[in-house]
Structure 1
Amino acid sequence: MTTYDVLVVGGGTSGMMAAISAAEHGAKVAVIEKNSSLGRKLLVTGGGRCNVTNNRDKEEIIAHIPGNGRFLYSAFYQYDNYDIMDFFRSNGVTLKEEDHGRMFPITDKSRTILEALIGIMDRLEVDIYTEAPVDTLLFDEGKVTGVQLQDGRNLQASCVIVSTGGKAMPRTGSTGDGYKWAKKAGHTITPLYPTESPILSDEPFIKDTTLQGLSLRDVALSVLNKKNKKVVTHQMDMIFTHFGISGPAVLRCSMFVHQTMKRDKTEEVTMSLDALPNVSKGELTQQIQRLINNDGDKSAKNALKGLVPERYLLFAFDKAGLDENAPLKQAAPDKITQLIEFIKDFQFSANGTQPIEKAFVTGGGIHTKEVNPKTMESKFTQGLFFTGEILDYNGYTGGYNITGAFITGRIAGMHAAKLALSK
């Protein structure tokens, strides 16, 4: 039987960082991965370019992890996003900053990050077992003692770090294996749901593909509750699709669609779309009044050209009952008011999101109250640690989830090594 100080189950982002951290702290470490290679999900993050972290302060990063981000405070005070940047730079990876603080390798290739992590593990003499699915974790009297592989082999260790991910993107190997082992150790799994997922709608304009493929830039998209109050608003780009809506603003709203439907006990929620969030309703009214005075002889379509993208403008005319070809000055005042209302607050219903398998990130997971936030160790089983997406926290895209993965991995590896070596 092979014995290690620390075993890491799952060779993804947080698992590799956990292995490196444990080895740097003097532990004899192995990574166990069921796929034939490490970092399958890492390779597809950031559109294949790997958005490694975000160049913002702690408070702002945690604010961008709306699902239980506060759980990460203690970890952030030991290792943060600036440490992640230093880690890669000191290991020969040059990073560059893009919009919204997103940090990428200068090569624009996820493989650069993966190869760096594998190279560091190699240098630290971390053993790597690939094509080695784990059957179960081994416990004895409230302590973890190792893992049993599906081929019958047992690997012993005084600490085991479970970094198996969630259930989003199962083609990368994230099939929720770790949840059953966490349950075996006495942990509660909060309900899983898709986050960072496109939103579905059965509205007629979606079904008849009126707006399909239309992108809107810098709009404000809101989720409304049953009292018509805004639950959340995100001002970013979006796109209409054949099943509903997608794009950055939509992905960020998706978890709130789930939470609102659950809280309000409804099958659908109302979305509100403001196509011109930087212009108040009053300013827009004045702007259109000026156009009526100055360009009123032109057709409505030509006079209001450029206000919003043409397809959206024609859709707005249709909703407001305006004739696009009639002179703008002939438009009834109440129709103009309806047009302004539509541009500033187009409301439509959404009935959920695409399923968890098509989402980027899993919401829900191991209850964070059952895990020590300073060490990532189970409060129920000595020597058992959890990192990354298996835990019940989730962030927006833009380098926030991967930041959580690197940080929880780093902290778990460090504390697991210290615990193992103290024995």
Structure 2
Amino acid sequence: MDTVAVIGGGPAGILAAGTASKQGKKVILFEKNSNIGKKLLITGNGRCNITNNCDIENFIKNIVNNKNFMYSAFYTFTNTDTINLLEYFGVKIKVEKDNRCFPKSNKAIDIINAFNKYLLFNKVSVLKNTKVNVITLNKNGTFTLHINNKKSMTFNKVILATGGKSYPKTGSTGDGYIFAKKFGHTIIEPKPALAPIKLKDEKLKKLQGISLNNTKLTAYLNNKKLHEQTGEVVFTHFGISGPAALSLSSYINRYSINKIKLEIDFLPDYNYQSLEKLIKSLFLKNQQKNICNTLCEILPKKIIVYLLDNLNIPFDKKTNNVTKDERYKIINSFKKLDLNYNGLKSIEQAIVTSGGISTKEINPSTMESKLVKGLFFAGEIIDVDALTGGFNIQIALSTGYLAGLNC
């Protein structure tokens, strides 16, 4: 009987272990924490956005790096398979805004409990509080694992599902990159993805706590449009966060700060002409009111104060005294305000890791290494990442399933 070591008890490792055991392999899952799925507890604000209910083509569209690599995995183990598996082990799933899927209980722990049942059902041995320190490739093609209690164990196959480097407190400390590099694999430099964006602007700190539901962020690389993202933006003490900012970060994380320019459109539903018409109408109706209070009908007061201050237009200026040139400047600042980009928050504070094992060195149909026979990869350790919405966890589950199926 073939023996399989799965290193890492996140969603990728769990599916890999369960699937391999179903194929008749003797499987041991190594988890350095006291329980499996620790990172799942913090996803979706503790509710666990386990997958997305969109079709496979939309899954592919939501991948930022190496889209084509995921076709085989997504079609082999789908989002429907994820939902069916969880419901089989007692967790009902609900679909919310943007097709995001959560447990009906809104408790991530229910997902972990279901995965524990899944592993037990499939007779997977789970060694918790067990850290793999070294993996040795033997002359006969087997692998010897040296673990934290100085014990060694030998296996026919190894699946690395150790995650990336984001949220290291959950166990994702980059161990897998060290193992893979030792076997000759190329590591695409890990970068923060789905990370808050830092801005260099002291006055912007006054906007801390403001949340705008419909805002457009645009990134330029060497003055050419790279990507734009519309959605919720939250102003913080260091810059911006929220779904739109987090998603945009995944497109700019591989470029140096001085090559990226950012701008914000506070009112993407208005073009310049319609916005000018709106402001003219407001000014006409409120001729004796000051400009700040009048514009507060469009955007929060703190933003208006910030914009007027930037434009050197007095807050208390009456609307009937606003010049055509000032009105144009106001409209332009609403539609196209430059943000002083200062990088991203650290990878430890990112939701996922961008980078990892080069996909060129992994067979996308099996998840097996093209360099070392019997070595497989699954989940965030691979250089594939996606936007928010349950896509990254599904990447982990689908690649884990494929690795387990073919090991």
Bin for the TM-score computed over the shorter chain: over 0.9
Partner of 1:243: 238
- Does residue 1:192 correspond to 2:178, yes or no? no
Compute the displacement of 1:314 (Å): 1.8
Compute the displacement of 1:288 (Å): 1.1
TM, length-normalised to structure 1: 0.93
Compute the displacement of 1:395 (Å): 1.0
Change (3 A) 1:142 1:384: farther
- Work out the CA distance in 2 between the residues paired with 1:83 and 1:123: 17
Partner of 1:86: 84
Partner of 1:387: 378
- Does residue 1:152 correspond to 2:143, yes or no? no
Compute the displacement of 1:268 (Å): 6.0
- Does residue 1:174 correspond to 2:169, yes or no? no
Change (3 A) 1:80 1:146: farther
- Work out the CA distance in 1 between the residues paired with 2:259 and 2:166: 22
- Quick one: which amino acid aligns to residue 361 of structure 1? V
Q: How does 1:28-43 map to 2 (within 5 A)?
A: 28-43=26-41
Change (3 A) 1:85 1:381: same
- Does residue 1:323 correspond to 2:321, yes or no? no
Compute the displacement of 1:292 (Å): 2.5
For 1:59-105, what per-residue CA distance to the aligned partner results, in whole angstroms no more than 9, with x for missing partners?
11111111212211111121211221122122221000111110000
- Work out the CA distance in 1 between the residues paired with 2:64 and 2:215: 21
Partner of 2:220: 224
Q: Which runs of 5+ in 2 are unaligned?
A: none
Compute the displacement of 1:133 (Å): 0.8
Partner of 1:365: 356
- Quick one: which amino acid aligns to residue 215 of structure 2? V
Helix, strand or coil for the counterpart of 1:41?
helix
TM, length-normalised to structure 2: 0.96
Partner of 1:111: 109
- Quick one: which amino acid aligns to residue 63 of structure 2? I
Stretch deviating more after TM superposition (110-119 or 286-295): 286-295
Stretch deviating more after TM superposition (235-244 or 338-347): 235-244
- Work out the CA distance in 2 between the residues paired with 1:342 and 1:259: 28
- Work out the CA distance in 2 between the residues paired with 1:349 and 1:68: 29
Q: Contact (CA 8 Å) 1:200, 1:243: kept in 2 or not? A: yes
Aligned length: 407
Q: Which runs of 5+ in 1 are unaligned?
A: 417-423
- Does residue 1:408 correspond to 2:399, yes or no? yes
- Work out the CA distance in 1 between the residues paired with 2:203 and 2:213: 19
- Work out the CA distance in 2 between the residues paired with 1:214 and 1:292: 25
Q: How does 1:38-49 map to 2 (within 5 A)?
A: 38-49=36-47
| Root mean square deviation, CA, Å | 1.6
Q: Contact (CA 8 Å) 2:252, 2:260: kept in 1 or not? A: yes
- Work out the CA distance in 1 between the residues paired with 2:150 and 2:250: 40
Helix, strand or coil for the counterpart of 1:382?
coil
Q: Contact (CA 8 Å) 1:145, 1:158: kept in 2 or not? A: yes
Compute the displacement of 1:138 (Å): 2.6
- Work out the CA distance in 1 between the residues paired with 2:385 and 2:79: 16
- Quick one: which amino acid aligns to residue 74 of structure 1? S
Compute the displacement of 1:341 (Å): 0.3
Change (3 A) 1:142 1:250: farther
Q: Residue 134 of structure 2 is aligned with which of 133, 136, 144? A: 136
Q: Contact (CA 8 Å) 1:363, 1:394: kept in 2 or not? A: yes
Q: How does 1:206-221 map to 2 (within 5 A)?
A: 206=204, 209-221=205-217
- Work out the CA distance in 2 between the residues paired with 1:320 and 1:21: 61
Helix, strand or coil for the counterpart of 1:168?
coil
Compute the displacement of 1:317 (Å): 1.9
Partner of 2:9: 11
Q: Contact (CA 8 Å) 1:42, 1:110: kept in 2 or not? A: yes
